[in-house]
Amino acid sequence: MAGFFAYAIGGVGFLIIAAIESLSVALPLSRSLPFVFAAFLSILAVAHSVLISVLSALASSSADPIGSPLPLSSLPVAAFFLLFALSSLLSLSDLLPLPSTLLHFLSLSAFIQEFLLFRLRSNKDPDGLENRYFDLLLVPILLCAGASLLAISRPRSPFPRLARAAGLALQGSWFLQMAFSLFTSLVAHGCVLRRGSRANFTVVCHGHADIHRSSAIATLQFNCHLAGLVTVAVGFYAILGGKNGSGGGGRGIGGYRAINKELHRMEHISTSRFTLDSDEDEETNMPKQDAAVSVPMNGFGAAH
């Protein structure tokens, strides 16, 4: 059950960080709170990788040569996330003032490392069912990377933070789904979990029909997680919009001003400033002037 607890704890950690990141946009939460959880989760990931690698090395045999080095492949990812969290904490405490663009670049590098980790993991067992779950995990990772890239150009905008929180939430829920779908009895029918060591595992399906059915089930599960995330995001946006719309001098999200105030202002404008006459009517109403103007000279006027 080592794999189950690792994926489950990681999923819960991602969900907590996503919740804090999204709530900090609307509530006066501490700015260091998400980075503290990120640093704690990164330290757990580093400790877990080293511990599993040592235990696999002590119990490994010639039949599983990759059991010991395989857990160490996640160390660069955890190290990048830890570097990002610690740098953000030091920047907030004024001990090491760093520009926000550099911090967002560190988070972008961490998500790129995570993307490469799960993208290249499928080369180990190409026919394993876990590869389908890893491929679907790349979607929220790309969302987080895109949000970090957008935050580099717009560091003060809250929308990249909300997009990154959505990607972290989808990662967390999908890690929980992987924990139950790969390491418990909820694995797809016709597939079985095979372990070479604590870190080296694969989910093998018996026939092509079982492979296609289990892959379709994984896709359906991911669509359900995505639909749930959209539902929660819409509800959160509605609550946030209701709070911002009720105060602030009648201004809603994005500084929107109610239209009834504009109509009330129009009522005080005098109607005498407006006319329905066209320009042609104005020209016809003007008195016609003579083409030639007589100018008297020496007491004599011009002939008419």
Q: Which of 266, 231, 259, 232 is nearest to 245 (CA)?
A: 259
Phi-psi region of 248 (alpha: psi -120 to 50; beta: other; left: phi over 0): left
Residue ranges of alpha helices (H) inside 122-158 are 130-153
pLDDT for the residue numbered 281: 53
Q: Say which residues have a Cβ less than 8 Å from residue 263's Cβ, sequence separation at least 6.
A: none
Residues 245/246/248/253 CA torsion (nearest 10 deg): -10
Integer Cα distance of 37 and 165 in angstroms: 14
pLDDT for the residue numbered 229: 93
- What distance lies between CA 63 and its chain's CA centroid? 42
Residue 296 structure tokens: 């008297």
pLDDT tens per residue across all 304 residues of the chain: 568 888 999 999 999 999 988 888 777 778 888 889 899 999 999 998 888 888 777 765 556 677 677 778 888 899 999 999 999 888 888 777 888 899 999 999 999 999 999 998 877 777 889 999 999 999 999 999 999 999 998 888 888 988 999 999 999 999 999 999 999 889 988 899 988 777 778 899 988 889 899 999 999 999 999 999 999 888 877 877 776 654 444 444 444 455 555 555 555 554 455 455 555 555 555 554 444 444 454 555 444 4
| pTM, full prediction | 0.76
Q: Which of 54, 106, 47, 59 is nearest to 80 (CA)?
A: 106
| DSSP sequence for 216-255 | HHHHHHHHHHHHHHHHHHHHHHHHHHHHHHHSTTTB-GGG
Could you tell me if 176 and 11 are in contact, meaning their C-beta atoms sit under 8 angstroms apart?
A: yes
